[in-house]
């Protein structure tokens, strides 16, 4: 992925079930979280935070969050400072968050977890979530105009959730969290995987009714641990990993685990882009391997290859998320997959953020002239969103690498619509494919005329995509269990459908780039 689109965040949680449930030290839930957050930092690098519960402290819930990477926020490079910080945060329950956002990026007040302090312990809670509220405007207006709430950050989904949870609690007993989440499930349109801890000692972890964002859990000695991706649990030592079901709440209180299906009336709508790009390649999401899905996509794309392959052809995957697809593409065609582009893994995000795109490409990648010179390159990437950075990369490969031909192959269908569920691509005008295509590419290759126009725009010799009808088989899930909205324009929720109609109308009328949704 060259266009730098981001997912909104990742969440983790751990709760001590007690010594009768296995080995491990008491009040060590917090110590499990920094390494788990590191494993899912692909989901966000702008801020991180942890809230812990410790009934032995006067300040029962304690939150630490800052702008920066997980290592920076939790002082992981300073052994003594990191140890002191984790000791201050020690507790039997802990939730953690790593964040990316298009909203309030440089303001620590937008970082999560978000804590609500209250004198009654079951109303004192802290929570974090991954996703986006598609009906934000309506819910924010209802809060402010009808319920009399004051929104300090009107563009913040996190604050929206906080107020609605607090409002529902006014009507419920402390232990009746199932009812709270049933109402949230009916009220909130969009994607949300959430972890919440109360001052009363409850841990609540829930996944939205469509299961758009991933969430899983497993046992680690005396602890029950949760994460947005399985890689965090696997690396911690968890053996059996289970996905939280769409519309499911896992409620842990005093060592007892209670599971509640708070919403049953929606089909799963798992975000297919998790398998294409966002998730760590070693993760397994909803029982489907991310690596295997990407391998299958590359193989399916190769089987449709229109170019006559010669001894001068090589495959160069764009590092790193395209490697599995690129290797499969090469293997299927019987040609070498070569690391013709080397990624600089030690350059910081902020170091290149202020530079122009051409400079960013050269900072981020090194083209190996000895590998690329005189070759016909299949440049395999996982997707094209805006195309601007890809165009600079192609120029760089021609100039520095001296490749004779560059054929772009995308192991994903053309991105045809914005995402309103937590991916940073929320306007029509910024997208590359709709400039050339009137409708989604359901099956088969791009028409030669369209491919030629696209290729000319980015300086390539040709462009081809994986069609939509190959996706479900590559991932291994039924097509009606996937959210494919950004490639087929069929949004799984009413608010998403309405937002797309508005964005398309604005774009058609030439009023800017369409509707950009601010997300948290």
Residues acting as catalytic residues: 9
Q: Output the six-digit token pair for 476.
A: 């291994």
DSSP 520: -
| Sign, Cα dihedral of 416, 421, 425, 430 | positive
Place of tokens 């969009």: 190
Q: Output the six-digit token pair for 91.
A: 């507790």
232 CB-side CA count, 13 A: 33
DSSP string, 193-255: EEEEEETTSEEEEEE-TT--S--EEEEETTEEEEESSHHHHHHHT--SEEEPPTTEEEEEETT
Q: What are the beta bridge partners of residue 91?
A: 28
Rounded to the nearest 5 percent, the helix, strand and coil shares of the chain are 35, 25, 40
Task: Quickly count: other Cβ atoms within 10 Å of residue 359's Cβ.
Answer: 12
DSSP string, 281-293: TT-EETTEEHHHH
CB 169 within 8 Å of CB 153: no
Largest alpha-carbon pair distance within the chain? 73
Place of tokens 């001052």: 199
């Amino acid at each position: 992925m060259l266009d730098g689109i981001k997912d909104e965040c990742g969440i983790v949680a751990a709760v001590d079930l007690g010594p009768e449930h296995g080995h491990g030290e008491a009040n060590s839930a917090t110590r499990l979280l920094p390494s788990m957050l590191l494993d899912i930092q692909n989901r966000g690098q702008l801020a991180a935070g942890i809230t812990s519960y410790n009934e032995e402290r006067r300040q029962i819930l304690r939150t630490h969050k800052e702008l920066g990477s997980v290592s920076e926020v939790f002082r992981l490079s300073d052994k003594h400072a990191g140890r002191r910080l984790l000791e201050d945060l020690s507790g039997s329950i802990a939730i953690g968050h790593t964040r990316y956002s298009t909203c309030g990026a440089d303001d620590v007040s937008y970082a999560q977890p978000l804590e609500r302090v209250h004198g009654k312990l079951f109303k004192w809670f802290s929570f974090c979530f991954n996703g986006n509220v598609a009906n934000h405007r309506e819910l924010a207006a209802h809060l402010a105009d009808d319920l009399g709430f004051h929104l300090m950050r009107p563009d913040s989904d996190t604050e929206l959730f906080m107020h609605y949870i607090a409002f529902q609690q006014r009507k419920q007993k402390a232990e009746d969290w199932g009812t709270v989440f049933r109402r949230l499930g009916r009220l909130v349109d969009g994607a949300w995987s959430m972890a919440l801890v109360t001052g009363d000692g409850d841990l609540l972890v829930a996944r939205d009714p469509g299961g758009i964002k991933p969430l899983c859990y497993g046992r680690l000695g005396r602890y029950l641990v949760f994460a947005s991706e399985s890689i965090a649990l696997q690396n911690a030592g968890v053996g059996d990993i289970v996905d939280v079901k769409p519309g499911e709440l896992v409620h842990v209180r005093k060592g007892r685990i209670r599971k509640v299906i708070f919403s049953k009336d929606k089909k799963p709508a798992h975000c297919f882009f998790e398998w294409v790009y966002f998730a760590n390649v070693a993760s397994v999401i909803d029982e489907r391997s991310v690596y295997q899905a990407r391998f299958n996509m590359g193989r399916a794309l190769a089987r449709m290859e229109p170019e006559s392959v010669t001894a001068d052809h090589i495959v160069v995957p764009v590092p790193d998320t395209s490697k599995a697809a690129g290797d499969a593409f090469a293997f299927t065609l019987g040609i070498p997959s070569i690391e013709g582009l080397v990624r600089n893994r030690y350059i910081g995000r902020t170091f290149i953020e202020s530079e122009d795109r051409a400079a960013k490409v050269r900072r981020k990648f090194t083209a190996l002239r000895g590998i690329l010179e005189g070759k016909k390159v299949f440049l395999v990437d996982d997707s094209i969103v805006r195309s601007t950075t890809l165009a600079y990369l192609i120029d760089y490969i021609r100039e520095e690498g001296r490749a004779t031909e560059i054929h772009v192959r995308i192991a994903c269908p053309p991105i045809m619509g914005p995402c309103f569920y937590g991916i940073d691509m929320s306007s029509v005008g910024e997208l590359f494919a709709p400039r050339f295509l009137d409708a989604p590419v359901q099956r088969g290759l791009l028409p030669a005329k369209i491919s030629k126009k696209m290729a000319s725009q980015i300086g390539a010799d040709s462009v081809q995509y994986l069609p939509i009808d190959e996706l479900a088989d590559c991932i291994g899930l039924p097509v009606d269990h996937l959210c494919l909205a950004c490639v087929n324009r069929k949004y799984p929720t009413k608010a998403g459908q309405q937002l797309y109609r508005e964005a398309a109308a604005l774009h058609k009328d030439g009023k800017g780039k369409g509707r950009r949704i601010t997300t948290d």
